[in-house]
Chains A and B, each alone.
Chain A
Amino acid sequence: MGQTRKVLIVDDEPNIVTALEFLLRRSGYEVRIATNGAEALAQVDSERPDLVLLDIMMPGKSGYEVCQRLRERPELAATKIVMLSAKGSEAEVNKGLSLGADLYITKPFSTQELVATIDRLFASGDGPAA
């Protein structure tokens, strides 16, 4: 586990991005940021993050769509996807997990708890990604 993990934050709300970026860096993660779906797909290709923090409600491509696109690619199977959403109905959680997300977290959440959850996700995962 000597290697630094890379996390891609995809959200169009700068306030939450600022807070998450700060906290994740402090926790030792390398952080990349995208503010819409298309940007997110491009960064996944160029940066190959280990984990994508994906907001659902974004202009253009929704988080669901980005998730589905990523999961269509077998070489990205080890990339973890954590969905963040202001909507949190049972149906939406169900949809997110069905489309291949590893976790679905409803806003508002505690930023510290989120980071702890991400840590756990890597700890239980099967080794570092490419």
Chain B
Amino acid sequence: MRTPKGVILWVTAACAAVLLTLAVGAALQFLAADAEQRPQLIALAVQGAPAVFFGVAILMAAFGAGASWLYRRYPHAERQLAEQARSLLAADAGFRVAAAGAPPLAELAAAINQLADAYHRIEHDLEARSAETRARVEEERDRFAALMSELSQGVVVCNAAGRILLYNPRAAALLAPPQAGGHGDYTPLGLGRSVLALLDRNQVAHALDLLTHQLGTVDRPQASFVATAANGALLRVQVAAFVGADRRLAGLVFTLEDVGQLMGRESQRLRLLQSLATGVRGPVANLRAAAENLAAFPDMPADRRAQFVDIAVAEARTLTERLNTALLAYADALKGSLTLEDMRAADLLAVAQRRIGDTLQLPVAIEDVDAELWLRVDSYAIAHAMTFLAARLAGDYDLHGFRLRAGSGGGFGEVDLIWTGAIVGSDALSFWEGEPMRVGAEETPLTLRDVLERHGGEAWLQVDKIRQIQRFRLLLPKGQAAAPVPLRAAVESRPEYYDFDLFERIEVAGLLAERKLTELSYTVFDTETTGLEPSAGDEIISIGAVRIVNGRLLKQEVFEQLVNPRRPISKESTAIHGIDNRQVANEPTIEQVLPRFYRFCEDTVLVAHNAAFDMRFLELKEAATGVRFGQPVLDTLLLSAVVHPSLDNHHLDMIAERVGVRVIGRHTALGDALLTGEVFLRLIPLLAERGIVTLGQALEASRATYHARLQY
């Protein structure tokens, strides 16, 4: 540690003062002395001057050293300690203060270090605990999300303002886009979007009115309605409100169910009845007239008689035909009741296996199951019926276990309860069929016959005497495989079907330009085109887009559409994007696609790389499509130039490398949109470092950079 300049100055000044005092003293002595003594004094002074200077120098050095020692030991050491103590909070956890100087200072340092130890211990504990809590919350959310994905009903949850916080894959499937393009009213399901746009606005609004009305008076406000989705599906929608601690509306839960099939079957039954009623009346009337004439007039002439007999025979034949035709045409309507659900046979067997095993404490094995087989069943009733049969068998015969099998037999599924050994009489089943099914404490008034009738099914006992194997065979209606859950496997990370942070987010009012980049919703998009000159007739052949909501790239909420450009695609451009004429031949035209894309990006800020190029194509279609993309547009190329003004290369790949985004799936519109989205998210904090936080600032900085770049 060097002695500070102040101390050196101070010591120098003190020495100068001593010298000055000596000089003034000598001068006074000289003035006071006699004239003859003065030469003597001068000689003395000249003689003694070196000694005086030398003495003063020694004095100066000694004094300076002393002052420096004192400074270092006292005020400086204290200040140093204070500084170290201050940096304790910011420094590494291992950093401790060290005291130089007097013993009391060392004690103070030790006390400070003890406090630091205690502080770091608490801090460490807190961190560990909060990490644990975070992990638990994450796990719960994941579990919840997994649960949601498995539900057979569609679920959509929104906050009080109607912004969607959560939806499950089933909801996404039910509200999937219409098959052919060009449906103007379709708005895709997405996080942060308004729930009002999902279905008929008026119906949703009416349900919300009902709920709001119930709020103060009912515990669980609920409303329901049947609506048609844009894709034509007929949905039964149930809306339940949940209320916050302040008794005000906190959010809404929508459950969606496809009732088209149910309604379809119901109306089929009606049509069957109608066709029977009208189709049978005529022939029966004719038959009756002929038969009554024959009975009433036994003496009628032979040719007349023959005529009536012919009529009776012909009408009886017609009647038979009509009956058979009607029953054949509506065979499906007669199968099963309305409350049945489509279920994988393997799942039904697993449920039955567990129930029989748990109830009877006997081993139950699954012998064989057709993995492709779906049944239309009331799974509870069937599992209960199988358990009932197994219990009756085990009660009356000495059985050591059961095997289960499910396979396909013609238009039906066969579900077998199999056992070896005891031969059961053929009348056992017809006896048990009519009993209320009691298993342990669980009893239903239903009989096996009731359950089978409800399914349009049958059951019987089948015996293989040679192998001593017997089985109860249940014949149950086949079902339809449920629609596959979209996109699950294709996405690497956890599906992003929910975002509860949106829950708390207060709707930010005010100008878009003043809103923070981190809180806006974006649509990041890219197009592939037939060439580079839209004014020369080049056309869009593909649009890909992905949404960013609440700072997250929603890989589940994407737009991807090939477009028929109605002009040939050049070989050179096919070489870049791999799309050829054949691929787009049956795709919708830009006039059909743009309105859909417009709905996809409504209420968001657009983001694209080299956005001017893509926007030019969109603008040229405004007149033809009537769709104007008026929202603000951010360009990752320009934003990159804002962040790295000294660099020249702002190709998407280069920026991605610079900001640390892995490049995959380039040169498809969706692949590039995803990459641009990731790059954009990385650019936001880099912009913030430069004081660019709001949309307005980002737009302004982009404009400035654009002009700066033009000047080169």
Contacts and interface: CB of A to CB of B under 8 A. Distances in A.
Q: Does chain A bind chain B?
A: yes
Interface of A: 61-62, 64-65, 68-69, 72, 88-92, 94-95, 98-99, 108-110
Contact of A91 (B316, B317, B430, B475): B475
A98 B411 contact: no
Interface of B: 316-317, 319-320, 323, 327, 331, 334-335, 409-412, 426-427, 430, 456-458, 460-463, 473, 475
Given A89-B334, A90-B411, A94-B409, A68 B461 contact: yes
Given A91-B457, A91-B475, A92-B458, A65 B412 contact: no
B460 A99 contact: yes
Contacts of A72: 426, 463
B412 A62 contact: no
Given A72-B426, A94-B410, A94-B475, A64 B456 contact: no
List the 3 shortest-distance A-B pairs measured between CB atoms, nearest first: A68-B426, A95-B458, A91-B458
B426 A65 contact: yes
A60 to B, nearest CB: 10
Pick from A68, A72, A88, A92 the residue with the most CB of B within 10 Å: A68
Contacts of B320: 108-110
A88 B334 CA distance: 12
B458 A94 contact: yes
B473 A98 contact: yes
Given A89-B335, A98-B462, 5 more contacts: A68-B460, A72-B426, A94-B412, A95-B458, A110-B317
Pick from B334, B456, B475 the residue with the most CB of A within 10 Å: B475
9 contacts: A65-B430, A72-B426, A89-B331, A89-B335, A91-B475, A92-B458, A94-B410, A94-B412, A110-B317
Nearest to A65: B430
A130 B467 CA distance: 28
A72 B457 CA distance: 24
B331 A90 contact: yes
Contacts of A90: 331, 410-412
Contacts of A95: 458, 460, 475
Contacts of B323: 108
A65 B434 CA distance: 14
Nearest to A66: B426
Contacts of A94: 409-410, 412, 458, 475
Contacts of B327: 88
A98 B460 contact: yes
Contact of B412 (A61, A68, A91): A91
B470 to A, nearest CB: 12
Contacts of B462: 98
Contacts of A69: 426
Given A72-B426, A108-B320, A91 B460 contact: no
Nearest to B455: A91
A69 B460 CA distance: 13
A64 B331 contact: no
Nearest to B316: A108
A94 to B, nearest CB: 6
B692 to A, nearest CB: 71
Nearest to B313: A110
Nearest to A89: B456
A85 to B, nearest CB: 12
Contacts of B412: 90-91, 94
Contacts of A92: 458
A64 B457 contact: no
Contacts of A89: 331, 334-335, 456
A37 to B, nearest CB: 10
Nearest to A95: B458
A65 B409 CA distance: 22
Given A90-B331, A98-B473, A64 B410 contact: no
B483 to A, nearest CB: 26
Contacts of A61: 427, 430
Pick from A69, A72, A90 the residue with the most CB of B within 10 Å: A90
